[in-house]
Amino acid sequence: MPLVAHTDLPTFQRLHDEGEEILTPDRASHQCIRELHIGLLNIMPDAALEATERQFFRLVGACNQIAQFHVHPFTIDGLERSPAALEHIAKYYESFEQIKQDGLDALIVSGANVTHDHLQDEPFWQPLTEVFEWAKSNVTSTLCSCLATHAFIQRCYGVERTRLPAKRWGVFSHKVMDRHHPLMAEINTRFDVPHSRYNEIFQRDMEKHGLKVLVASKEAGVHLAVSPDGFREVFFQGHPEYDDISLLKEYKREVLRFYHGERDDYPPYPEHYFDDEIKRLLADYAGHVRDAKAAGFELKPMPEAQIVEHLEVTWRDSAKAVFNNWLGKVYQITNEDRRLPFMNGVDPNNPLGL
């Protein structure tokens, strides 16, 4: 069912322009359909702040449960922000205090960029863990993405992530490890997921602490795992929310970092993402970048329009299916008073009855 544009957040208009069905509050008020209220803790850096909104809003809006989805973006202290980003947040985001007062049915926590070797040294660590602790007692299910997964598992299960020898970067094939789990209903047993990270929590460490691994890759490790009860906490190490151009944007940023002397080596391609035609274009462009850097002249734009024509999305259907299953279970479990989610005889230690 559709998203409800309950604020003036520009993301709603952007999604409407892309063909998504977005309800106005007036139209929503005339439908006899139950609401679901979903928090989005957006801790991505400024360059990806609004794109992350759109990516997660799309996945929520694609779900076909009989519900109206109200998504409530908010953020936390400890993140360096530009004046423009602070203005966007002040105008369109809610405060965590307001979120706590109103309550949520479910919570999504985005990834983030880090500047320290250990997450507990990040300026946002304390406010982030405060959200985790509140969610454990007040939200039916919390879905964490990438960095948020690492932070939640470290805080609540005592497992610190491991630095990888090289960045895990690309689109990788994954296998469903537990076909009978409700989150895996009607999903292909193999599907692709983008990854972009320097760190990992390994399957053996997750399982040692009682987490259930649902989807994993021989190349990329665990993508999807859940808490011991099977549902209260959902962990992504990959990025199923990514657009077709997300990895291209990251690659472009790394090329610019090389040009400006912020990295010594020319960036490798994200794995299994660019086809041979794109690689030929980028090889020619790499020659130009090196020449421009050596001679000190201006860099020409990357031929993105030509590249985009060859990009393929091989993960979106599975991403939508997982979100559909997740919010479907949230809908079944929650009481209409979203501040009291574990009513109606549901066991909070085994909400799926597994």
H or E stretch covering 283: helix 276-295
- Distance in angstroms (rounded) separating the CA atoms of residues 332 and 346: 10
* Annotated catalytic residue within 88, 146, 195, 254: 146
Report residue 210 CA to chain centroid gap.
23
Instruction: Please choose, from the candidates 104, 115, 110, 113, the residue with its C-alpha nearest in 3D space to the C-alpha of residue 149.
Output: 110
Neighbours of 339 (CB within 10 A): 13
Neighbouring residues of 233: CB distance < 8 A, sequence distance ≥ 6 = 141, 142, 144, 152, 156, 226, 227
Give yes or no: 241 in active site: yes
Query: How many separate helices (H) and strands (E) can be counted in the chain?
Result: 12, 11
- Kindly provide the residue ranges of all beta strands, DSSP E only, lying in the chain, ordered along the sequence: 3-4, 22-23, 35-41, 68-74, 106-109, 141-145, 162-176, 190-200, 212-217, 221-226, 233-236
Half-sphere exposure in the Cβ direction for 337 (13 Å, CA): 6
Give yes or no: 146 in active site: yes
**Are the CB atoms for 36 and 103 separated by under 8 Å?**
no
Radius of gyration of the chain (CA): 21
**Are the CB atoms for 296 and 302 separated by under 8 Å?**
no
Burial class (CB in 10 A: 0-12, 13-18, 19+), 119: buried
- Distance in angstroms (rounded) separating the CA atoms of residues 144 and 110: 6
* Annotated catalytic residue within 37, 72, 88, 239: 239
DSSP state of 322: H
Give yes or no: 181 in active site: no
The partner residues of 236 in beta bridges, in order of sequence, read 145, 224
C-alpha to C-alpha distances, 38 to 90, 105, 213, nearest whole angstrom:
19, 6, 24
Neighbouring residues of 46: CB distance < 8 A, sequence distance ≥ 6 = 81, 82, 84, 85
Active site (catalytic) residues: 146, 239, 241
